[in-house]
Structure 1
Amino acid sequence: MTTDMGRAPRLTHHEARQRLAHERNSRLAQLRAIEESAPHADEDLQAAQTAAIERVLEEIDAAGRRLSDGSYGACNSCRTTIPVERLEILPYARFCVGCQQRAS
């Protein structure tokens, strides 16, 4: 995390890339666990879990593209900087908390 005088702290490109990679690896491990439990699991539950994880993987990929094009860390709605604390917890966040709450 870097800080400039008068500017909000931000994740460095490297830190953001690491967090996104960690999130991706975690979700891929979840998918493997679901696949391994296939013979013993409820098919509808398994399909729902797989779909939810795949949506998160899409969000992670989109965050990677934002990181590459320089728009990472800016709210997709109001364009303000997403607080670093939010990005540390949810590195693929597209919206600041206020805009996310309004969208929900």
Structure 2
Amino acid sequence: MSVDVSRTDVRQRLEHARNSRLTQLQALVESGQSADDQPAATQRSAIEGVLKEIDGAFARVENGTYGTCLGCGKAVPAERLEILPYTPYCVACQGRAAG
């Protein structure tokens, strides 16, 4: 792991992020909005996307690549990982991936 935090800390951050998204998803389901409601469908899709990113981060923790940018192979800054513990990219590569 190329970041200066323990696996336990990283897992706790990822679990918190996962639980937050699952709570959001549950609230969306309980709101009773139909599947045809475009804003709700868009929000649900975004939450599910983040959950997939979180699962990917757990996998990177396990295989020892957590904190290494999937784009350039350099270390993702610790400050970025504190804000988005599941991000697979540094800021520069995230911009290229989104573009």
Quick one: higher RCO (CA 8 Å, sep 6+), 1 or 2?
2
Question: Structure 1 unaligned runs (5+)?
Answer: 1-7
Secondary structure at 1:38 match in 2: coil
Corresponding residue SS for 2:73: coil
Match of 1:4 in 2: none
**Pairwise mapping of residues 23-102 of structure 1 onto structure 2 (< 5 A)?**
23-39=17-33, 43-102=37-96
- Count residues in correspondence: 97
Structure 1 residue ranges (4+ consecutive) displaced by more than 6 angstroms after TM superposition: none
- For 2:70 and 2:14, locate their aligned partners in 1 and report how far apart those are by CA, in whole Å: 18
Residue identity opposite 2:72 in structure 1: C
Q: TM-score if structure 1 supplies the norm length?
A: 0.85
The share of aligned pairs that are identical, in percent, is 51
Q: Unmatched 5+ residue regions in structure 2?
A: none
Structure with greater Cα Rg = 1
